[in-house]
Amino acid sequence: MAKGRDDLLRQAATKNKPKKIRNIINAYWRFSRFMFDAPALFAVGVVSGGKGFSKKLFEAEVIPSDIRGDTDLDITVGLALKGFILKGHELGLGTCVLTGPLTFLTCPETFMGVEGICVKCFVSAGFPDENPEPVERKPFEALYLEI
Ligand SMILES: Cc1cc2nc3c(=O)[nH]c(=O)nc-3n(C[C@H](O)[C@H](O)[C@H](O)COP(=O)(O)O)c2cc1C
């Protein structure tokens, strides 16, 4: 991951990107690196190569592209994760979903030896250091749009 960060910083410098970009890389580095301090770290993935409705039609050349190809898997893994995280909470465990590290890691599946699986995120878990108040919920009108 450190090599990935250095590569990104080098790319930003070579391409003369503004300081803001370097700050973004360094901020996401901090929000990624801490996962190694957690007592338990999970990699969460899906079996790649599955075929949903649109992929079947794309391969049959009925539609020009399978642009939403990952949507079903992303929703499915997100729903499964919610149950996992809530169960952890019930057991007194704190968790954090992380996708930031995936931008620093070119191909985590290879070095983890999990070919055929696409890693979608990491989840750190442990006994929480803090017990913050729940965040204020957005009002219903901010979440719902009738069209
Ligand atoms: C898809 C997704 C990716 C995330 N990636 C990261 C990450 O890379 N690093 C991080 O510190 N938090 C990440 N988070 C945020 C935490 O998992 C967690 O949701 C957040 O800290 C909860 O705090 P909040 O209640 O203030 O939103 C991510 C959240 C989601 C939903």
| Domain boundaries of the chain, sorted by first residue | 2-128
What tokens does 115 get?
A: 């070919």
Whole-number pLDDT of residue 111: 86
Question: Which of ligand 1's atoms lies nearest the C-alpha of 97?
Answer: 17
60-97 as b/e: b if 16+ CB within 10 A: eeeeeebeeebeebeeebeeebeebbeebeeeeebbbb
CATH 3.40.109.10 fits 2-128, yes or no: yes
CA 32 / ligand 1 centre spacing (Å): 10
- Ligand 1: residue whose CA is nearest its atom 1: 99
Q: Assess contact for 44 and 118: CB atoms under 8 A.
A: no
Nearest to 109 by CA among 99, 101, 98, 119: 119
Q: Whose CA is nearest to atom 21 of ligand 1?
A: 96
pLDDT of residue 139: 96
Ligand 1 atom nearest 101 alpha carbon: 8
What's the pLDDT band for 91 if we cut at 50, 70, 90? very high
84 has pLDDT over 90: yes
What are the beta bridge partners of residue 125?
Answer: 40, 95
